[in-house]
């Protein structure tokens, strides 16, 4: 399996991979399981996919389910304008599967809740697609998507540690991040764009992920 390439860690280097809307910015080859690619989110071209995902019953913790398509497009156009927050759509053999948001935690409300370290990169992810109907050797979808998400998030050499802060009530998300190798660091509270949030803070260093 080849999940992108990374260079030596340099905390002064960039942490976010940029490109034009819809552009492929990373590719991971998972052999018989296929290929996962990361694309800069296109708030217009990807809108139908996004709106269908965020309005699903289980997407409540994502906090966007009440938005109209136009409001959702405007939300991600705003994200697209920020140099510190980027959104990406991961595709598995061309099919959209994961919405991934990466951000500089020092420029995000989570900075109220912990001491940001050089090289930290915040991460939110939402699995909306299923990937291939059949996988070789009894593989699960997350046995491919987990390494793909981590590989892409760590693709820039300035990233030393990944940070997640799922809602403390979101047990499926907490179980998933633990399975990906994140180490819980306790509950924190801060003011999010959707209002007060109590989250479980967790970290995954480059060493743990690789």
Q: Is the pLDDT of residue 10 over 60?
A: no
Q: Is the pLDDT of residue 140 over 90?
A: no
Confidence of residue 210 (pLDDT cuts 50, 70, 90): low
At 8 the pLDDT is 39
At 132 the pLDDT is 85
Domain boundaries, the chain: 24-209
- What is the tens place of the pLDDT at every residue in 27-62? 999 999 999 999 999 999 999 999 999 999 888 888
And the tokens for 59? 């997407």
At 61 the pLDDT is 83
Q: Is the pLDDT of residue 183 over 80?
A: yes
- What is the tens place of the pLDDT at every residue in 89-134? 999 999 999 999 999 999 999 999 999 999 999 999 999 988 887 7
And the tokens for 175? 């179980």
DSSP of 103-122: E-GGGSGGGGTS-PPTTEEE
Looking at domain 24-209, what is its CATH homologous superfamily? Gcn5-related N-acetyltransferase (GNAT) (3.40.630.30)
- Pick the most confident of 62-66, 138-142, 154-158: 154-158
Q: In angstroms, rounded to a whole number, what is the distance separating the alpha carbons of residues 36 and 26? A: 8
And the tokens for 134? 């059949």
At 106 the pLDDT is 96
DSSP E strands in 66-138: the ranges are: 85-92, 95-103, 120-127
């Amino acid at each position: 399996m080849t999940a992108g390439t990374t260079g030596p860690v340099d905390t002064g280097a960039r942490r976010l991979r940029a490109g034009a809307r819809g552009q492929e910015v990373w590719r991971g080859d998972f052999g018989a399981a296929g290929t996962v690619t990361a694309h800069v989110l296109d708030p217009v071209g990807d809108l139908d996919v996004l709106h269908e995902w965020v309005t699903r019953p289980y997407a409540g913790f994502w906090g966007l389910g009440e938005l109209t398509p136009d409001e959702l497009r405007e939300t991600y156009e705003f994200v697209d304008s920020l140099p510190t927050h980027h959104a990406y759509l991961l595709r598995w053999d061309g099919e959209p599967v994961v919405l991934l948001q990466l951000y500089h935690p020092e420029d995000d409300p989570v900075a109220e809740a912990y001491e940001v370290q050089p090289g930290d990169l915040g991460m939110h992810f939402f699995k909306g697609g299923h990937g291939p109907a059949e996988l070789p050797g009894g593989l699960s979808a997350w046995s491919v998507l987990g390494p793909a998400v981590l590989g892409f998030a760590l693709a820039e050499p300035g990233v030393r540690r990944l940070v997640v802060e799922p809602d403390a009530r979101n047990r499926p998300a907490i179980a998933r991040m633990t399975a990906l190798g994140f180490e819980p660091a306790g509950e924190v509270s801060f003011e999010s764009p959707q209002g007060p949030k109590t989250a479980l803070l967790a970290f995954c260093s480059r060493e743990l992920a690789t």
